Chains A and B, each alone.
Chain A
Amino acid sequence: GESVGLHLPTLSVQEGDNSIINCAYSNSASDYFIWYKQESGKGPQFIIDIRSNMDKRQGQRVTVLLNKTVKHLSLQIAATQPGDSAVYFCAESPYGGATNKLIFGTGTLLAVQP
């Protein structure tokens, strides 16, 4: 079947380099953001999240940066490894008083070259 990686912007990096994946979100009222990783043939997996009262959050080898002024989110992956090759999605929670609905970006394909 057709891969979800087709038609996506692609970031190609060398193994060991740092990767930066960017995402522009749509709603200035969004107060919660998540990055997901989707490997071929699998469902999206949670990587890291951040709330709108923060501008940076770090995990293991990953850092998420939030710039609310320009509605921009980025995911930094340190020392990128072949196992990091996947499609990465950002998601925002845009509803201030309604349900826990997430709106997903279309994704970026990260290709790690050995």
Chain B
Amino acid sequence: EAQVTQNPRYLITVTGKKLTVTCSQNMNHEYMSWYRQDPGLGLRQIYYSMNVEVTDKGDVPEGYKVSRKEKRNFPLILESPSPNQTSLYFCASSLSGRVGDSRVYGYTFGSGTRLTVV
């Protein structure tokens, strides 16, 4: 089944304890992205990757890191989590990251990771 898989689904952690949220897609998609979703603010992009070893900041990158060593994986790293990073996180992928590419632009989303930092 074509899908984007995130782990864990739920995580409670303490301030300052490094954590990684994993994301994997099995559709050979070039483009992957992380979003956070907060009440009243909608989905905001954290980081994105156009392809292997190509990553760039989104709208709210502070406090986050990513890597794209393989096409299928795009982990989100919080080196020193803080309470304001408590949120619902989504990984998404798309066949292409290039506007003008005639292939489908739409994202496929993972099921989400609910992170609580205390």
Chains A and B come from one and the same complex: yes
Which residues of A come within 8 Å of B, CB atoms?
A: 1-4, 6-8, 32, 34, 36, 41-46, 49, 89, 93, 95-102, 104-107
Contact with A along B47-75 (1 / 0, CB 8 A): 01010000010100000000000000000
Contact residues in A for B88 (Cβ distance below 8 Å): 1, 4
B40 near A100 with CB under 8 A, answer no
> Are B99 and A107 within 8 A (Cβ)?
no
- Chain B residues numbered 59-118 whose CB sits less than 8 Å from any CB in chain A: 88, 90, 92, 94, 96-101, 105-112, 114, 116
Residue numbers in B under 8 Å from A46 (CB-CB): 106-108
Known: A4-B88, A101-B45. A43 touches B99 (CB 8 A): no
B43 touches A100 (CB 8 A): no
Q: Are B42 and A89 in contact (CB under 8 A)?
A: yes
**Chain A residues near B99 (CB-CB < 8 A):** 93, 95-100
Apart from A1-B116, A89-B42, what 12 extra A-B contacts exist at CB < 8 Å?
Answer: A6-B39, A7-B40, A42-B111, A43-B92, A43-B110, A43-B112, A44-B90, A97-B100, A99-B48, A99-B56, A100-B94, A104-B43
